[in-house]
Chain A
Amino acid sequence: MQMKLKLKHIILLSVFIIGIAKSYVFYIEKNVASLKKQVNARKKNINLLKVEWTYLNQNSRLQKLAKLCLPTWRPIEPKQMKDVQKIKAGFAHVEQIEKEERDRLEKEERERKQRKKYENKSIQNAQKKKQTLKEKNDQKTNIAEQKKQQQAKVSALNKGR
């Protein structure tokens, strides 16, 4: 009796589980369908935007706009097309001028720095002189004081004797 009951239960349970799984699948499929719809709508919109993009980027329209808005600009001419190496060679004299100017600027800066250094040095020297003088004075006074102290100590010691 117990065995038979178990079989019944297993079958019932499995059916139940299958049912639940199926319903869950329906739910997901429904979601997928609605998402696909949305994707389609988006795709259509993107397509329309692409069409608009190409329509607005028509060469004829761009040419008209360029004539209107950039009256001083002109299309590139064959003259302007050059190899990169050739451009380098062509700009050699420009480079030289630049180099000269750079050198000149560097020179000026160096001079300025030197001048500054010199000025600084002179100031420093003056300060140093002052300091040394002060120090000398200080030393002198110090020495005098020390002597005095020593003399006082000596005198004190002498008195003690």
Chain B
Amino acid sequence: MSKTKHVITVIVLSLLGITMLIALNKIPNQFEYANSISQHIVNNAVKETGSLNFVTAILYDYRAYDSLGESTIIFGAVSGIVLLLSRKTLPVSSHGLSFIVKRTFGMLTPFIFLFSIYIITHGHLSPGGGFQGGVILGAISIIFSIVYGSEFDYKRYTPTTKTLLETGGALLFIGLGFLGIFFGGNFLMNLRFLNMGEGSLISAGSIPFINTVIGFKIGAGLAIIFYSMIQKTFKEGVDL
């Protein structure tokens, strides 16, 4: 039974593969590029948004509404995970790893935080942006939980703080969007204030602010996900 099912699956999948290869070879290698929207963005993005990184210009200016939808999806995932995994017992506590690892990460963690802030705030000048830097911010909470034990994480970076950062980030993002309407444009219009010239940190209007807001929101959301996932793992030794 299982053997024949296995063989049939492999045969069907190889037929599917041959079909896909034939279909994919019909796709042209080079697309029509002149007069496309990509051409418009490459030619005008620096003038229109002030951002030197075109991917950031698309994500946080031209298609910022899509980024709002994306962070809504992450908000939904966080809500679902916390709803499913909510437990009445206070979380946690392991004693963490050895002394050497604790001291090493004690020295490394500030630099990881600095790196994440760099990635978030320089999103319009270099590769990076709110999403990537936010995940590194969330990784700091994961390091706290693994290296120092999750009790340390619970005390240093309480669930209330995480919730505040996440909902506050989402609300500030929507608030920046409504500011665009308030100043007479579209939702999430680039406000073009505080411009110190191309290539400087404070330029590109509201893109660095949206980056910062999204970064803290994503970081707090992923920290909440990991925090609610490890709750049951270390049950013994709870005295908070």
Chain A complexes with chain B: no
**Chain B residues proximal to chain A, CB less than 8 Å:** none
